[in-house]
Structure 1
Amino acid sequence: MDKTKKIWKKAKETAANKEQMKSTLAKAGDKLQKLAQNSNELQELKAKLQVLIRMVQSHISKEYKAFPISSIVLILFALAYFITPIDLIPDFIPALGFTDDASVVFLIVKKLNRDIKKFIEWEKEQFEEAE
């Protein structure tokens, strides 16, 4: 089984298990902290990943229920691909290591654009209500 198929399988399994989702979020958060701060591309990648992480967190807590499980599986695939150290281009290769990670994340963000916009709007409403 190739690497991508393994990651898809893992994403589907993870979507069915709250503890596995939390573990994936923690690992993605840890890896996000290690990304360089000086690259605009990496900053954009971090911003996109942070939204995806918040989406899964709100799904786990059942605070936000407006997206289908298929969207959660796609997000978990992106996060699993991101945290996997050995993928198409291994992360330890300088300047290129996150290229494939970024490509996968941006592709999934584009596919989930409508869900992401709705979620961000919902977050804004929650923030305004809290004030």
Structure 2
Amino acid sequence: MDNISPEKANEVLQDQAEKVEEKDLEKVLKKQEKIEDKFRNNNSMSGYFEKAKSMFSLIRDYWSGNYRQVPWKTVAAVAGALLYVLMPLDLIPDFIPIAGFLDDAGVIAACLTLVNDDLVEYEKWKVLQDHSEEA
């Protein structure tokens, strides 16, 4: 993250999260494949791919009403971070090789730091749900 400081990433994340409305959750879910491709295809973001899948799952379960034991600020931060990754012209435009994705990775890292406890609780809940469906 040489091109974006953790403080700047957090500032960008907070700004994005403040703009998120519940209708934006549907937009994130519709663009999931495109956003996930950015995680898969860029070395600076590939390490976050599994967490990104959890982030999408959290949004999907929140959107459907299956999981509401999470503060809106967590959902907004996750959606804001994922929407930021989707934006081609962000702090450092994505068409700039390597550096263009470092800001995306910084915003995702800031988001994961901010929402880690809530995401871990969601992941535990999800495992329990998956096991109860198998039984």
TM range (shorter): 0.7 to 0.9
| Alpha-carbon distance in 1 for matches of 2:42, 2:91 | 24
The aligned runs of 1:47-62 (5 Å cut-off) are 47-62=50-65
Match of 2:129 among 100, 114, 126: 126
Q: Against the structure 1 CA distance between its residues 38 and 82, is the aligned structure 2 distance closer, same or farther, given a 3 Å change threshold?
A: closer
| Alpha-carbon distance in 2 for matches of 1:113, 1:97 | 25
In the alignment, is residue 10 of structure 1 matched against residue 11 of structure 2? no
| Alpha-carbon distance in 2 for matches of 1:38, 1:27 | 17
Q: Which runs of 5+ in 2 are unaligned?
A: 1-11
Q: Percent identity?
A: 26
Q: Which runs of 5+ in 1 are unaligned?
A: none
Which structure has more RCO (C-alpha within 8 Å, separation ≥ 6)? Answer: 2
Q: TM-score, normalised to structure 1's length?
A: 0.80
- SS at structure 1 position matched to 2:65: coil
- SS at structure 2 position matched to 1:66: coil
Q: Is the 8 A contact 1:28 1:83 kept in 2?
A: no
In the alignment, is residue 25 of structure 1 matched against residue 29 of structure 2? yes
Root-mean-square deviation (CA, aligned residues, Å) is 2.1
TM superposition shift of 1:31: 2.7
Count residues in correspondence: 122
| Alpha-carbon distance in 2 for matches of 1:122, 1:58 | 11
Match of 1:88 among 78, 91, 102: 91
Q: Against the structure 1 CA distance between its residues 32 and 129, is the aligned structure 2 distance closer, same or farther, given a 3 Å change threshold?
A: same
- SS at structure 2 position matched to 1:91: coil
Q: Is the 8 A contact 2:81 2:108 kept in 1?
A: yes
Aligned partner letter, 1:129: S
TM superposition shift of 1:34: 4.6
| Alpha-carbon distance in 1 for matches of 2:111, 2:41 | 23
Q: Against the structure 1 CA distance between its residues 98 and 58, is the aligned structure 2 distance closer, same or farther, given a 3 Å change threshold?
A: same
